[in-house]
Structure 1
Amino acid sequence: MPDFLMYLREACVENLAEAIQAEKQGADRLELCSRLDLDGLTPSFNLVRQVLDNVSIPVMVMIRPRAGDFEYSEQELDEMKREIVAFKNLNIAGFVFGVLSSQHIDIGRTRSLAELASPFEICFHKAIDEVEDIIEAVEQLADIKQITRILTSGGASTAEKGIGTLQQMIDTASGKISIMPAGKIRPENIDLLHQKLNAIEYHGRSIVVK
């Protein structure tokens, strides 16, 4: 495969069967959630353990206590912290979460969760697509050393529609943090997106489903 087509594919799954199938179809990493009809919530401890027992690729675990916005109460934040502590006892690759405040990154709470989740990988999820200034948000998250990557469609409904902003985000990140495009990425459009963006990793519900 030519160098310009080398990239990692992260498949978003919500049950054991999907996790096993995604690995068989070539996924390089999994994001494990529950309730993808609600854009993903924290999976159960038992589900995470079952998936880890049945796949060999890395598994990222969503930490999101409820559907809706990404502005959490202290009680909800405490719940997120308890979940992180519990999942750190398993052989996961890392965590996926996002916290906002008035359409901006909640830097204090995000940093607190990131420090708790360290040294595991940390992905700030698509909550970033709801901020007022997405480029500023990239700069802020890049300054939190524990955060590994940002999951985003560039503020648009799909990666293809957000491709201009995604390129700006990648340029702004300058390698300090990975920008992982998402949003209706499938086998039939990923190579074209990659030729334009040259990101190192891509995410999708159907990223390996033909």
Structure 2
Amino acid sequence: MIKEACVESYLEAKLAQKKGANRIELCSDLANDGLTPDFEDMKKACSGLDIPVMVMTRPRAGNFVHSSEEVEQMKIAIDQAKEAGADGVVFGLLTAENKIDEANTRLLAEYAHPLPVTFHKAIDEMDDPVEGVRVLKTIPNIKRILSSGGKATAREGQQVIRKMIAETDGKIIILVAGKVTAENVNEMQQITGTTELHGRKIVADLTLSEKI
């Protein structure tokens, strides 16, 4: 099982590693579901940790319908992630109809190479996340999809998550999120059938734990 901790600072990342995280998703502004982190935080985390660091690439809060100008901002963030030494990037783009924005997703996935891409929980805005998997598995360099099965929690979305995993044909990892905590991570792994899980509190409540 891979436990990916979602954090918004270098200190939280260090603590998550100490508590047993296997991988970090580094963001800013988690109150708005995560935005692109500061370049200095990217560099600190990528140089100061012994586990992989995935960097969020999201230019603003709100929906996931991104303009051409915002796509250019995402390219800059990808350049920064590469320069910082990140192990991958995280982004998600939809159309106004809540379908996968295939054109821009392909463009950014190719631009990010050789860094692997996680398509984030934008997929949960779709009427049918399984359809999203069907599209994303055809796009080179999309290695993971972060999802709670279109529901608020992984527990509620477990049946859809299992359908998503089946749809991948082994080409993409479904990274399960949605109120996954240190207390329930083993159960969430069992009921969804995934090998990788993600959460703000997946190894500890970092907002309440001691700082290091």
With normalisation by structure 1, the TM-score equals: 0.94
Residues 1:154 and 2:161 are matched in the alignment: no
Query: What is the aligned partner in structure 1 of residue 89 from structure 2?
Result: 95
Q: Distance in 2 between matches of 1:195 and 1:77?
A: 37
Q: Deviations over 1:165-199 (max 9, x none)?
A: 11111111121100011011012211112122221
Query: What is the aligned partner in structure 1 of residue 70 from structure 2?
Result: 76
Q: Deviations over 1:10-67 (max 9, x none)?
A: 0000011110100000000000000000100000110111112321100000000000
The letter for the 2-side match of 1:133 is D
Query: What is the aligned partner in structure 2 of residue 20 from structure 1?
Result: 14
Identity of aligned residues (%): 47
Tell whether the 8 Å contact from 2:119 to 2:144 is kept in structure 1 after alignment.
Answer: yes
The one of 25, 30, 55 aligned to 2:24: 30
The letter for the 1-side match of 2:204 is V
Secondary structure, counterpart of 2:77 in structure 1: helix
Secondary structure, counterpart of 1:42 in structure 2: coil
More deviation, 50-59/17-26: 50-59
What is the root-mean-square deviation of aligned Cα atoms in Å? 1.0
Q: How many matched pairs?
A: 204
More deviation, 196-205/58-67: 196-205
The one of 92, 110, 118 aligned to 1:115: 110
What does 1:57-206 align with in structure 2 at a 5 Å threshold? 57-101=51-95, 102-206=97-201
Tell whether the 8 Å contact from 2:159 to 2:192 is kept in structure 1 after alignment.
Answer: no
Tell whether the 8 Å contact from 2:110 to 2:140 is kept in structure 1 after alignment.
Answer: no
Secondary structure, counterpart of 2:174 in structure 1: strand
Secondary structure, counterpart of 1:88 in structure 2: helix
Structure 1 regions of 5+ residues with no counterpart? 1-6
Q: Deviations over 1:93-142 (max 9, x none)?
A: 00000000021000000000000001111100000000122111101000
The one of 31, 47, 50 aligned to 1:56: 50
Q: Distance in 2 between matches of 1:104 and 1:201?
A: 25
Q: Distance in 1 between matches of 2:157 and 2:128?
A: 14
Q: Distance in 2 between matches of 1:194 and 1:148?
A: 19
Q: Distance in 1 between matches of 2:176 and 2:80?
A: 29
Structure 2 regions of 5+ residues with no counterpart? 206-212
Runs of 4+ in structure 1 displaced over 4 angstroms?
none
Tell whether the 8 Å contact from 2:106 to 2:140 is kept in structure 1 after alignment.
Answer: no
Tell whether the 8 Å contact from 2:109 to 2:141 is kept in structure 1 after alignment.
Answer: yes
